Amino acid sequence: MVAVAQALASRGHQPIIAAPPDFGDWIRGLGFEFAGTGIDVNAFLQQNRDILGANAMKFVSITRELFERELPAQMDLLLELARGADAIVFGGGSVTAPSVREILGIPVLGVLFTTAVLPSREHAPVVVPWRALPKWVNALLWRFSGGMWNRLMRDALNGARARHRLPPVGDVVEHLFTDTPFVVAVDAGVLPIDGEIAQRVPPVGFLFYEPPDTALDPELSAWIDDGEAPIYIGFGSMTGRGPERMRRVIVEAIGALGRRALVSRGWANLGGDLPGGWRAIGDTPHKLLFPRMACVVHHGGSGTTAAALRAGVPQVLVPLILDQYHHAQRLYEERIAPKPTAMEKISAPQLAAAIRDAMSMDPAPRQRAAERIRASRAADEIVDRIETLAR
């Protein structure tokens, strides 16, 4: 969403970004007005890391409680921020934005960041980790998924709407998608969309935040150049059942390969006691790092997957939850990455073998994807649509 804000500002608009409070300092530092809404996402994941990828029913229960607490406050805040605005662009869990539109009469545009949430016989719903099921099973699972989303959100959403004298909605998915324009910020060559859905939710290409700094830290850059290209390891906001097991797997796997590694700490604070010659880093723009890596090992989140695709480097995906399984399977099917193994199950020998496979794969499929992705202008296309809606 910061990428969209950058594109809006470049055309003279004044974006206000409403996001979880832990992003406030970063967003204000980029010069954007910020309003905190919702929870500290990092803290939420840390508190619930033992059930991520391990106890789906418990995670659904916690998520439902979260919506019940947060949606009324979210709607109040969005209503306050949007008074006098020309339009609302929303994504993620901002499901009260269409309700705010009903009150204020201004246009909204929803942005999805994965095709995993779009119904298709080609893949299961986003909450299902198994990605190679028969088409008839996928179709059956999608029929049940609508009921799950209603159970997660409907009471909380209707409670928020009632506070503002809006009628209740019967079906959350229909409410969100029937009357609200959406785009999906993906490359359709890697993450294809069924024809009928693509007409309703068109792909615009991956979104990329462009950092204001155009060069890496000189010391880090010199370390990268001082030897063969390192292997990058990073799992972003994912923690799994704790970083210690994955640290051991990483050290053993890459040690067996005789390589050095660049370990991104992420929210799990991955790193700790690393072998000599390795390096741990904090937040560093993927755009500047990935093209200089021998291989990128990551969790399969939409942003990291897109950045690795744009860089055109070998990659290994070890998914933990939700859309990460979808991205990992699609890259495997496109012959861009090796067959994935879940983060909670992968062993050091399996990870080492996957890295070898990734680095020996035919580079042509990933190079074609990289060229296409580098040429796309998703943020500009989204702003074009916002301006059209506002007019």
Measured CA to CA, the distance from residue 18 to residue 16 in angstroms comes to: 7
Query: In whole angstroms, what is the distance from residue 231 CA to residue 259 CA?
Result: 7
What's phi and psi for 288, nearest 5 deg?
-85, -25
Mean pLDDT of the chain: 88
Assigned domain for 161 exists:
yes
In a domain? residue 213: no
State which residues form the domain around 139: 2-205+376-390
pLDDT of 340 over the 80 cut = yes
Q: What per-residue confidence (pLDDT) applies to 167?
A: 95
Is 160 in the same domain as 249? no
Confidence band for 18, pLDDT divided at 50, 70 and 90: very high
Instruction: Report the C-alpha gap between 214 and 220 in whole angstroms.
Output: 14
CA angle 40, 43, 49 (to 5 degrees): 135
Terminal CA-to-CA distance of the chain, rounded, Å? 21
Same domain for 197 and 301? no
pLDDT over 90 percentage in the chain? 57
Helices (H), 50-188: 56-82, 97-104, 135-163, 172-177
Does residue 212 form part of some domain?
no
Gap between the Cα atoms of 356 and 160, Å rounded: 51
What is the Cα–Cα distance from 155 to 141, expressed in whole angstroms? 22
Per residue in 158-196, pLDDT tens? 999 999 999 999 998 888 887 789 999 999 999 999 888
**How many CB atoms are located within 10 Å of the residue 364 CB?**
10
Report the candidate in 220, 218, 266 with the shortest Cα–Cα distance to residue 242.
266
Helix axes of 56-82 and 97-104: crossing angle, nearest 10 degrees: 30
Same domain as 255, residue 192: no
- Clarify whether residues 167 and 286 are in a common domain: no
Q: Are residues 98 and 22 in the same domain?
A: yes
> For residue 150, is it within any domain?
yes
- Contact by Cβ (8 Å): 365, 336: yes
Q: Give the helix, strand, coil percentages of the chain, each rounded to 5.
A: 50, 10, 40
| 322 and 250 inside one domain | yes
| Residues 187, 307 within the same domain | no
For the residues 370-389, what does the mean pLDDT come to?
A: 95
Residue with the bigger pLDDT between 56 and 307: it is 307
Distance CA 210, CA 4 (A): 10
Predicted pLDDT at 214: 72
CA 253 – CA 350 distance, rounded (Å): 8
What pLDDT, on the 0 to 100 scale, is given for residue 183?
A: 95
Distance CA 100, CA 389 (A): 16
CA–CA separation, 318 vs 346, rounded Å?
A: 8
352 and 229 co-located in one domain: yes
Of residues 53 and 20, which shows the higher confidence score? 20
pLDDT in the model for residue 51: 58
Q: Are residues 8 and 156 in the same domain?
A: yes
pLDDT band at 198, cuts 50/70/90? confident
- Residue 297 near residue 316 (C-beta atoms within 8 A): yes
Closest by CA position to 101, among listed 112, 116, 114, 85: 85
Are 232 and 189 members of one domain?
A: no
321 and 383 inside one domain: no
Residue 293 lies in a domain: yes
Amino acid at site 345:
K
Q: Is residue 179 part of a domain?
A: yes
CATH number at residue 300: 3.40.50.2000
> Are residues 45 and 191 both part of a single domain?
yes
Give pLDDT, residue 268: 61
In a domain, 313, yes or no: yes
Domain tally, the chain? 2
65-89 pLDDT per residue, tens: 888 888 999 999 999 999 989 999 9
pLDDT tens track for 317-338:
999 888 999 999 999 999 999 9
pLDDT tens digits, 100-151: 999 999 999 999 999 998 888 888 888 888 888 899 998 999 888 888 888 8
Residue 211 lies in a domain: no
Residue 240's pLDDT is what?
A: 57
Please give the pLDDT value at position 129.
86
Distances in whole angstroms, Cα of residue 246 to Cα of each of 64, 321, 344: 29, 16, 9
Q: Which of 114, 295, 111 is nearest to 190 (CA)?
A: 114
Above 80 in pLDDT, residue 35? yes
- Which of 208-217, 237-246, 271-280, 343-352 is the least confident region? 237-246
Asked whether the predicted pLDDT for residue 269 surpasses 70, the reply is no
